[in-house]
Amino acid sequence: MTNEMKAVDKVSVQTPGESTRECPCFVPRVDIYESAEKITLLADMPGVTKDGVSIDLKDNVLTLRGAFGSPTPAPARVLYKEYEEGDFYRQFTLSNLIDQTRITAGLKDGVLTLELPKVEKAKPRQIEIRTE
Amino acid sequence: MSILKWTPGFGSQGSWRDLDRFRRQVEGLLETLSGTVERRLLSGSGVYPLLNIGEDDDHLYVTAELPGVAAQDLDISVHGQDLIIRGERRIAEAGSQVNYHRREREAGTFRRVVGLPVKVDAEKVSASVKDGVLRLTLPKAAEVKPRQVAVAAG
């Protein structure tokens, strides 16, 4: 891979839900791919610690939140400021049924990896009709 | 709906409020504009990674967000008064059996050279990477540190 990386400004979240934290909130850049068994999501969340991550799946809406863990102590004088530190927030709507009990998440070097296993083929459920 | 008692001063208060709101909007706009201009000047080249640089009397502090870059894939060196941050960000291949829904993360190599404002003691530069954030502490060279001169009472 010889691709030369380019700097891209972080994108602010326009409506970060109802946040009570007084700090900027950004949209994490993600990769999402799907195989036969699962959906994998990778999100760049630099500065977010394990305790700061919250993942919520409700009514097919997946909400990712990442709280910035350890802010850099403000130096006596700022010389350059090219980026801002802050939290991350993003929501996705999933089209597949996800087996909530088997979701796994990992965080390494500021990258969140989420594995969302699909529900095994919904079994046809026979509904018995009782006659009285 | 509440009923307010009409007082002669009420209308003018309202317009003061409007004016105040307008003033705040203009201030916010100016802040945004000046912030953009400042940032353009600094990162106009769009070279990865973006940096924040600060200083105190004895040190320069450089931080960068490098999610997904392992410490062993980073190469940091100081040449004279230039700080060079090089590295590679690798993203594991997902295989051919998958469909991508989003592909926003970028992999590749990067190299950024920053001219430091003062000479630093290259031997004592320390670096750490934690949660995808690189933090460098560069002690200023002894000759550029501010020196207190004692004034002897004659």
Residue B118 included in any domain: yes
Count: domains in chain A: 1
- Of the candidates A14, A107, A19, A9, the one whose C-alpha atom is nearest the C-alpha of residue B131 is A107
* pLDDT, tens only, B115-154: 999 999 999 999 999 999 999 999 999 888 777 788 888 7
B128 in a domain, yes or no?
A: yes
- Annotate A98-128 with b (16+ C-beta within 10 A) or e (fewer): beeeebeeebebbbbebebbbeeeeeeeeee
CA gap A130, A114 in Å, rounded: 44
Residue A126 lies in a domain: no
Write out pLDDT tens, residues A75-126.
888 888 888 889 999 999 987 778 888 899 999 999 999 999 988 765 566 7
Residue A61 lies in a domain: yes
- Per the domain annotation, does A38 fall within a domain? yes
A124 in any annotated domain: no
Q: Chain A within 8 Å of B81 (Cβ-Cβ)?
A: no
Distance from CA of B14 to the nearest CA of A (A): 29
**Based on the domain organization, do B124 and B62 belong to the same domain?**
yes
B21 and B93 belong to one structural domain: no
CATH code for position A39:
2.60.40.790
State whether ipTM is beyond 0.95. Answer: no
Report if residue B4 sits inside a domain: no
A89 assigned to some structural domain: yes
In a domain, B135, yes or no: yes
Q: What is the pLDDT of residue B36?
A: 47
Best residue in B65, B86, B120, B135 to probe A by mutation, most A CBs within 10 Å? B65
Structural domain that includes position B15:
11-44
Please list, in sequence order, all residues whose beta carbon lies within 8 angstroms of the beta carbon of residue B46, skipping any fewer than 6 positions away: A6, A7, A8
- Asked whether residue B150 is assigned to any structural domain, the reply reads no
Which residue in the block uniquely carries the two structure tokens 């949660």? B131
The domain total for chain B is: 2
- Domain carrying residue A63: 25-72+81-117
- Same domain as B67, residue B31: no
CATH number at residue B87: 2.60.40.790
Contact check, Cβ <8 Å, B48/A111: no
Do B30 and B80 have their domain in common? no
